[in-house]
Amino acid sequence: MQKLAKDAVKQLKGAKVVGLGSGSTVANIVREMAKLPNKRLIEFIPTSLQIKLEAEKSALHMSDESRVPDIDIVFDGADQIDAKFNMIKGGGGALLREKILISAAKKVVIAADSSKFVQSFSRSVPLEVHPIARIAVLKKLTEMGARPVLRTLDRGYPFITENGNIMIDTTFSSIPDPKKKEIELKCMAGVIEVGLFTTRRADIYYKAKSDGTFETITF
């Protein structure tokens, strides 16, 4: 991942505003950005406190949501990427902010382990849900034939996002049309955002292999 991160940082190429996703892969990229000689000239927008703390340790210049429309490039990871390059994200709980930044960015770079690249989705889809809608959404998802589970912490407390919402991890028997499923779930009252990313394909995918090398897929 360190070699991958070093190469990914080359994609900056004059960027003035940079979005930072969440997770260990992005943390590696942030640590590489700390070595940039011109880092103080770049504004960074993090999607989570985890990455904000990492960026602060790297002495990166933080910006706020007023600069979101001006994002030149965003770096992020993924939980799964299917054969058509749709993604499932949200394992870390930052999917709402990640989707906002990805939707706004002029260029998107996604880095993930090769095991995350699959033919079709085989893991649960995270949903960020308003707490008042918890019972209603769980019921509707079950009626759809899905298997929803409220995300909890080790001691059983509900996982709360940085936006004050809960997460419901939902397993479907299959998702033949991810885009249609994303729209269907997003239209459910109380669902703030869906962990299916089908609208915006990344410009570059970094695929980290088990032998220490990586592959780049460019569109």
Q: Which of 98, 128, 182, 193 is catalytic?
A: 98
> Is 98 part of the annotated catalytic residue set?
yes
Closest CA to 49 of 80, 87, 20, 8: 20
Q: Which residues are known catalytic residues? A: 98
